[in-house]
Structure 1
Amino acid sequence: MAAPCPPPPPDPQFVLRGTQSPVHALHFWEGAQAQGHPVLFSGSQSGLVHVWSLQTRRAVATLDGHGGQCVTWLQMLPQGHQLLSQGRDLKLCLWDLAEGRNAVVDSVRLESVGFCRSSILAGGQPRWMLAVPGKGGDEVQILEMPSKTSVCALKPKADAKLGMPMCLRLWQVRGTHELTNPGIAEITIRPDRKILATAGWDHRIRVFHWRTMQPLAVLAFHSAAVQCVAFAADGLLAAGSKDQRISLWSLYPRA
């Protein structure tokens, strides 16, 4: 008797529309939960950051701080109500979102206009580390924040031709795995470290087991390149695409 076929991948739980521009960055904010629903930030090619309520499934605010240049990265600091946004205007903005505010309170001038997203390493301390694209398109600059003090610059050897960094992650363990499908815009790991998801140029979202890297699912919904993926603490997966849509998926519920 033939083994039963695995069930087909599910459809998105719901879809957010209204950015009117390709979506390049996503980030969940658990600290602003309304009746158990996290807030989702999205960064668009038009330079806007949309703040989405997952309860009403509508944008509740729009942040405009990058002069119409693409927003490529979004990250909340673990302490307080501060959001970092990186744009192709060579600027990284720090937003104060406390008590309904949406003001830029500080910024860092970047030295490379590439596609590389920045990265932070921060606990509950006032000081934190920030990695940003550096000079010449092939360096990485490490800053101590909020003083913006340079810690070091990571430079390739003189005879090395490593090319432009395309992603950064400040991390305290490491390993490597070669993916069979090229053209990955972003990789994200679920907070419980059981599964990870990739955003593919081939319009697909791929889901893998984190420890074994066994493929678990291929999600085909978007009609253009998927440019960003993000997990909420409850396991909800968001994916943003060049087709101007954000899909939300409930996969492999956390035990």
Structure 2
Amino acid sequence: MVMARPPPDPLFTLRGSAAPVNTLQFHCSTAGRPLLYSGSEKGCVHVWNLNNRRAERVLEGHDGASVIWVSTVDSTDAFLSQGRDMRVCVWDLHEGRSAVTHSLRTGSVGFCQCSLLEAETNKTLLALPAEHTEEIKVMELASQTPVRSLIPDSKQGMLMCMKMFQAESGPLLCAGYEDGSVVLWDVSHGRPLSCLKAHPEPVMCLDFDTDRQKGISGSSDKTLTSWIIDSQQNLQMQNSVLLTNPGVSQLCIRADGKIVAAAGWDGNVRVFGWKRLKPLAVLQHHKDLVHSVAFSNHPEASQRLMAAGSKDQRISVWSIYSES
């Protein structure tokens, strides 16, 4: 499909967070339009009903500290939120409840988001940034049992971003660091498998496609870089694309592997074909930098939604490239 020019307007805009929107997560287990969770700079999580375009609930568990990551746990219906109060809250939202059942201390004062993996072993693993700025702690979520501590041998600087995923050999994790490198970690054995200098500037964000064994990273520079994991579990550079303006806050590959969206510091969301990083659209709507992008991945939904959250306190919801 070739999108008509100019690019479309959003389907609608959600207002009411009353603070910059840092992070987004769709939850698509219910019939009809999915819920959308957002985390704000003022420490609140909003649960948005996309049918009436209002917040059903507002969760406050981080004492006003900025919420930088939210995630649902599909296997248990739990909900997680990570704040700059150095805690991850585990919520029970069943039957209208809004209770923090327990919280996990990260020790991290940085902006690196956690990463969740519901592994094939029926264990849910959570990777957290640790008190030491280069360290990643991996724990089993239900028992809160430490699994591994991942610390680079060489000085790559502060941990900036990460994504954990399941491979045939076990759980792997890609991490982006302050020196511009991406490291592939073997979580089970706690060792680095490969290191790639992907950017001249700090790696601000990354995402990974397990079907293609291919990832993408963005930086404070003007380049998006894609890379693959080869048969020897080495990271290999693939494509790169030059942006008009520097700075990407988040990258999100849609589950069908057709497009990838980039949240820009210039307030734009850029959409690319995932296969060759072909530029498809620049969505100009927000008045300030875009912190987060997320896709709805309901398997039976006729309309694939994308949401973008911005420093301008608004969330735009889009329908783009929905045809399968």
CA distance in 2, matches of 1:106, 1:146: 11
Which residue in 2 is equivalent to 1:169?
Answer: 163
Contact 2:43–2:65, Cα closer than 8 Å, also in 1: yes
- Does 1 or 2 have the higher relative contact order (CA < 8 Å, sep 6+)? 1
Query: TM-score by structure 2 length?
Result: 0.73
Change in 2 beyond 3 A, CA 1:168/1:21: same
Q: Report the alpha carbon displacement of residue 179 of structure 1 after superposing the two structures with TM.
A: 4.4
Which residue in 1 is equivalent to 2:135?
Answer: 139
CA distance in 2, matches of 1:73, 1:188: 14
Contact 1:16–1:245, Cα closer than 8 Å, also in 2: yes
CA distance in 2, matches of 1:113, 1:32: 35
Contact 2:25–2:70, Cα closer than 8 Å, also in 1: yes
What letter corresponds to residue 165 of structure 1 in structure 2? L
RMSD of the alignment, in Å? 1.7
Deviations 1:19-47 (A, max 9, x none): 110000101111234xx111111100000
Q: Report the alpha carbon displacement of residue 99 of structure 1 after superposing the two structures with TM.
A: 0.9
What letter corresponds to residue 116 of structure 1 in structure 2? C
Deviations 1:148-173 (A, max 9, x none): 2221111121xx33122221100233
Change in 2 beyond 3 A, CA 1:238/1:15: same
What letter corresponds to residue 291 of structure 2 in structure 1? Q
Which residue in 2 is equivalent to 1:8?
Answer: 6
Could you tell me which of 39, 60, 68 is aligned with 2:35?
Answer: 39
Which residue in 2 is equivalent to 1:77?
Answer: 73
Q: Is residue 289 of structure 2 the alignment partner of residue 228 of structure 1?
A: no
Deviations 1:91-142 (A, max 9, x none): 0011111111111112110021110000011057652111110232111111
Alignment of 1:145-160 (within 5 A): 145-157=141-153, 160=154
| SS at structure 2 position matched to 1:26 | strand
Which residue in 1 is equivalent to 2:170?
Answer: none
Could you tell me which of 61, 85, 88 is aligned with 1:89?
Answer: 85
Could you tell me which of 4, 16, 19 is aligned with 2:17?
Answer: 19
What letter corresponds to residue 161 of structure 1 in structure 2? K
Alignment of 1:114-133 (within 5 A): 114-123=110-119, 127-133=123-129
CA distance in 2, matches of 1:198, 1:211: 15
Could you tell me which of 299, 307, 312 is aligned with 1:238?
Answer: 307
Which residue in 1 is equivalent to 2:256?
Answer: 192
How many residues align? The count is: 247
Deviations 1:172-206 (A, max 9, x none): 33442544233111111112121111111111101
Which residue in 2 is equivalent to 1:247?
Answer: 316
What letter corresponds to residue 164 of structure 1 in structure 2? M
| SS at structure 1 position matched to 2:13 | strand
CA distance in 1, matches of 2:43, 2:274: 33
Change in 2 beyond 3 A, CA 1:143/1:178: farther
Change in 2 beyond 3 A, CA 1:124/1:101: farther
Contact 1:207–1:217, Cα closer than 8 Å, also in 2: yes
Q: Which moved more, 1:211-220 or 1:165-174?
A: 165-174
CA distance in 2, matches of 1:75, 1:161: 30
| SS at structure 2 position matched to 1:169 | strand
Which residue in 1 is equivalent to 2:54?
Answer: 58
Q: Which has the higher strand share?
A: 2
Q: Which moved more, 1:116-125 or 1:223-232?
A: 116-125
For structure 2, which runs of at least 5 residues remain unmatched after alignment?
Answer: 168-212, 216-226, 228-238
Contact 1:78–1:124, Cα closer than 8 Å, also in 2: no
What letter corresponds to residue 160 of structure 2 in structure 1? M
| SS at structure 1 position matched to 2:161 | coil
Q: Report the alpha carbon displacement of residue 6 of structure 1 after superposing the two structures with TM.
A: 5.5
